Amino acid sequence: MNRPAAVLIPLPACDFDPTEVAITWMVLREQGYAVAFVTDSGQRSHADPVMLSGRGLDPWAALPWLRQLPPLLGLLLRARRDAVAAYQLLEQDEAFLKPLRFEQLSTQDFQGLMLPGGHAPGMRSFLENPRLHQLVADFFDIRDERGRHKPVAAICHGVVLAARSMSAITGKSVLYGRRTTALPWAMERSAWQLTRFWGRFWDPDYYRTYVECPGEPEGYRSVELEVRRALADEQDFVDVPLRTPGYWLKTSGLFRDGPGKSNRAWVVQDGDYLSARWPGDVYTFATSFAKMLAVWKDK
């Protein structure tokens, strides 16, 4: 690879969360890190358009003659203006427009790995990609002379991708024996119920990347429960403790972090692995990852 060492962000063909990718890209660039992207086809990826505009979440979006009405529910759930602005800048970035292909990759060419999320259907092939599972496993398995793997960060459904990646050393998930957070079932269920009952009724499972099979309990296919099943101990899944200062700000799903607003976020670091829950954590997540990269390089 001829590009300078960079943080690598894998992307699906479509439907990734624009906030998690664009804000992380922006923060890393501001901190002096190059960012490279990889897709299965080597073609540029596209964010979930519903999360960019908010259109398609309100019930009138199903009616052609009302489709152009301004979003209301969509305003609550879509990406914020700062994330949309960051995404517009991202679409001008050469590395984003000309991503690498998997066969061009070697972990030695990168400083770290960031795994983004997204919930729409285009994420499924991303989460199920065996070549991507191998890449993620390599980042965890390959160690330097001090026994350290390169920093890895995962947010939202990106934690599912990590959970599904099997270590060649242990034969278990790379998250086995680690502490992590991810999208909590309470948050996933709230967004799912809000859209299927009050908004996108014609596509009731839009907010569920996977839904339960007959006979499975509700939430079995949720992000949280899948990640929990990959861990050595269920207590290794770290949600916000009840008595944490700012608990309501962190857990209600109504507040997102931003510069100087890390009290609204929840991230978990375990060694050189960092995790976060949803787009509302992304500034704190990206800033924490940049610090991890700097510390790792300086040690």
The C-alpha atoms of residue 188 and residue 127 are separated, in whole angstroms, by 17
Condensed to tens digits (0 to 9), the pLDDT of residues 177-217 reads 999 999 999 999 999 999 999 989 999 999 999 999 999 99
CA–CA gap between residue 250 and residue 245 (Å, rounded): 9
pLDDT value at position 210? 97
Give the start-to-end residue ranges of the domains of the chain: 6-183+228-298
The sign one gets for the Cα dihedral 227, 148, 129, 12 is positive
Report the pLDDT value the prediction gives residue 239, as an integer from 0 to 100: 97
Please give the CATH superfamily to which domain 6-183+228-298 belongs.
Class I glutamine amidotransferase (GATase) domain (3.40.50.880)
**String of DSSP letters for 84-121:** HHHHHHHTT-HHHHS-B-GGG--GGGEEEEEE----ST
Residue 279 to residues 3, 133, 195, 214: CA-CA distances in angstroms?
29, 23, 18, 31
Residues 6 or more apart whose CB falls under 8 angstroms from that of 147 comprise: none
The average pLDDT across 104-117 equals 93
Nearest to 278 by CA among 159, 163, 126: 159
**For residues 146-164, average pLDDT:** 96
Give me the chain's average pLDDT, please: 94
Give the pLDDT confidence score for residue 66 in this predicted structure.
Answer: 73
Residue 1 has pLDDT above 70, yes or no: no
Q: Which two tokens stand for residue 173?
A: 């998930």
Residue 158 has pLDDT above 70, yes or no: yes
Q: What is the mean pLDDT of residues 219-242?
A: 97
Beta bridge partners of 7: 35, 112
